[in-house]
Amino acid sequence: MLLDHKIALVTGASRGIGAAIAKGLAQQGAIVIVNYLKNHEKANATVADITASGGQAVAIPCDVRSDAAIQAMITEVLNNFGAIDILVNNAFAPFAFDPKHRRLFGDTTWADFQAQIDGSLKASHYLTQALLPAFKRQQYGRVINITTNLTQNPVIPYHDYIAAKSAVLGWTRSAAVELGAYGIRVNAIAPGLTYPTDASRTTHRDVRDAIIAQTPTGRLTKPADIAGAAVFLASALADNITGQCLFVDGGLTMN
């Protein structure tokens, strides 16, 4: 399998895209740390799904917006597993993708931006920094950041969310430049509207249909599509790929 004996930490992995990525990595042989904030029941369900399929996983709660909480989680994982090889920064601050009730530009406060930045960029930065000594010691690391195709094609202007994810993309590229010499690859995945997930359920059917009509593959992205991209970027197949953003949206966004 592609990820035999690798240790993977996936943030926000109790449901949706994160859970799909955790399951996809485990299917390829990785031992997966299922990080979650509060939903103990769903995190354990993700672990149960993985172990039922013959994989290995454990659930660990941690607020990835807190540097101290991250340090404690990383120490716990390293003490128990000896290494972390793959980090998937999937967690983000709560956000409802509801185009008909979105916050308009004039009503968006800096606190709204800050909440999204803390949930995405701050979390990704703290986690990667915490793992950097271990990555450097082993001269190996894979960091995969989840952003959005809205940074390139903001068909619905979710201002605070898009700004935070755009920052993650810039951070991905700058980190890749510096860390490549240590065997650390830093890449991003930009999903299109991914359905079904809890966050996307508020995107109305007419909006989903309009996006499908513009998409060459004729369908929305599924969580399993994102998982496949993450497995690729985490594996040796992508060993000489860094600083890239892989758009997974059925061709709606083309670079």
Half-sphere exposure of 206 (CA within 13 A, CB side): 2
Please report, for the chain, the start and end positions of each structural domain, with discontinuous segments joined by +: 7-248
Per-residue pLDDT reduced to its tens digit, 37-95: 998 999 999 999 999 999 999 999 999 999 999 999 999 999 999 999 999 999 987 78
Give the span between the Cα atoms of 19 and 22, in whole angstroms: 5
Q: Which pTM does this prediction carry?
A: 0.95
Give me the active site residues, please: 161
What letters, b where the CB count within 10 A reaches 16 and e where it falls short, cover 204-216?
eeebeeebbeebe
Antiparallel, parallel or unpaired: β 7-10 and 86-89 = parallel
Half-sphere exposure of 170 (CA within 13 A, CB side): 10
CATH ID of 7-248, from 1.20.1250.20, 3.40.1190.20, 3.40.50.11540, 3.40.50.720: 3.40.50.720
Give residues with Cβ within 8 angstroms of 201, minimum separation 6.
none
Per-residue pLDDT reduced to its tens digit, 119-159: 999 999 999 999 999 999 999 999 999 999 999 989 889 99
Name which of 159, 164, 147, 153 is nearest 244 in CA terms: 147
